[in-house]
Amino acid sequence: MAEQIKEPILELAGLRKTFGEAVAVDDVSLTLPPAGAVAIVGESGSGKTTVARMIVGLERPTAGRITACGRDRSAPPRSARERRRRGGEVQIVFQDPYSSLDPRQSPGAAVEEILRLHTSLSAPRRRERVAELADLVGLSDRHMAALPSALSGGQRQRVAIARALAAEPRILILDESVAALDVSIQAQVLNVLADVRERTGVAYLFISHDLAVVRQIADDIVVMRHGSIVERGPAARVLDEPGHPYTRLLRASVPRPGWRPTRKEQEKA
């Protein structure tokens, strides 16, 4: 029987972004299959975040095409309804969940707000769904009722993931989402992500400069350097038998256990 060919859930074709004279992203094309996990790796400044920001509409592509869930999103949404629909298709989690969580709002209220915006669930069903999402990412009722300042970095990152999942996206972009966490907490969050993918069929675009992390989460890897893709392929192949000298260089500089991002990197995010 012929293998069933699945339409990609996300497709980037010839994506380009310039800032003045500087080319941040140059002719980037990639596809993400439904329930797949593709990682974009590369050093700081290679254009990874700019790709993510274009997909979620925070930057407008200079050229190229972005198709998510079969619909073009290369141009800005034309209505609030369209914007909401796009938010229901693609969600993003950034590196520092603290800056993206309202310090006065409990995680439970934050997740409920997204459910109100993106679903037609009744108030009692929303409360049930908050509990389901908390369970999915491994947070207790007590965590969901606390203020973000009372939670650890790993717990806040789980809140950010639960909140993103509340919109029931088909695609979740994780931009250095575990980079600021201790290695053991990182491993927990990565397990949560693997579990969520299996249970919900969400697809991940995982952005990281950390190859050890990428190995745990990605099916395929795309390597970016100076805005362009220099290598791509199945994760194990790219990591174990890198074809491009730049990938070999990245691999040689894999941080050792206990490595923490520099203050500068944390501030940049």
Ligand X SMILES: Nc1ncnc2c1ncn2[C@@H]1O[C@H](COP(=O)(O)OP(=O)(O)OP(=O)(O)O)[C@@H](O)[C@H]1O
Binding positions for ligand X, rule: CB under 6 A: 19, 22, 24, 42, 44-50, 209, 268
CB of 260 to ligand X, least distance (A): 15
Cα(76)–Cα(227) distance, integer angstroms:
22
Question: In the bound complex, what is the minimum distance in angstroms from residue 226's beta carbon to ligand X?
Answer: 9
Contact indicator for 5, 12 with CB cutoff of 8 Å: no
How does 91-109 read in b/e, with b if 16+ C-beta sit within 10 Å?
bbbbbbbeebbeeeebbbe
Q: Which is nearer to ligand X, 96 or 112 (CB)?
A: 96
Q: How far is the CB of 40 from ligand X (least distance, A)?
A: 8
Minimum gap (Å) between residue 240 Cβ and ligand X: 23
Integer Cα distance of 43 and 30 in angstroms: 19
Between residues 13 and 23, which has the closer beta carbon with respect to ligand X? Answer: 23
Phi-psi region of 14 (alpha: psi -120 to 50; beta: other; left: phi over 0): left
With respect to ligand X, which residue has the nearer C-beta, 45 or 153? 45
Of residues 15 and 139, the one with the C-beta less far from ligand X: 15
Nearer to ligand X, 165 or 181 (CB): 181
- C-alpha span between 94 and 138 (Å, rounded): 19
Q: How far is the CB of 49 from ligand X (least distance, A)?
A: 3
Relative to beta strand 22-32, strand 203-208 is unpaired
Nearest to 28 by CA among 44, 12, 50, 49: 12
